[in-house]
Amino acid sequence: MSLNTAWFLLLTFMLAGYAVLDGFDLGLGAIHLRLGRDRAERARLIDSIGPVWNGNEVWLLGVGGALVAAFPTFYAASFSGFYLALMLVLWLLLAAWCSGPAATLDLSAWAPTCRMVLGA
């Protein structure tokens, strides 16, 4: 097995790990408004993903680092060509990450907006 094949398999494993493990977080965030019957139940749903929410984004950082190390030309072409789309995804992930804790607080003026960001 060549070095390119080994890096490709590692990247495939890391992207599959992100897709499987973060699918739970993003999926629950998308349907928690329909699953929870009241505000307390929705808060319990959001609290259930709290311990694993940040850990799953580490997979994306690992993929970015592996792309730089293994395939720098592909990394340069893809990140420069899709810069706007990647920044949009980054800001949306950041908005979802920030709105998780704030959506469960009743005192927050931003709680309705945060619930909408998580449910969209």
Helices H / strands E in the chain, number of each: 7, 0
Among residues 37, 30, 102, 39, which one has the least CA distance to residue 114? 102
Whether the predicted pLDDT of 13 surpasses 90: yes
The stretch 47-66 carries a mean pLDDT of 78
Q: Count CB atoms within 10 A of the CB of residue 20.
A: 11
pTM exceeding the 0.75 threshold for the entire prediction: no
**Banded model confidence at residue 5, pLDDT cuts 50, 70, 90:** very high
Q: Count CB atoms within 10 A of the CB of residue 93.
A: 14
- Confidence (pLDDT) at 120: 46
What residue spans define the domains of the chain? 3-119
What is the amino acid identity at position 92? L
Given the structure tokens 């908005």, which residue do they identify? 95
Measured CA to CA in angstroms, residue 47 lies from 3, 5, 24, 34, 103 at distances of: 42, 40, 13, 16, 10
End-to-end CA distance of the chain: 43
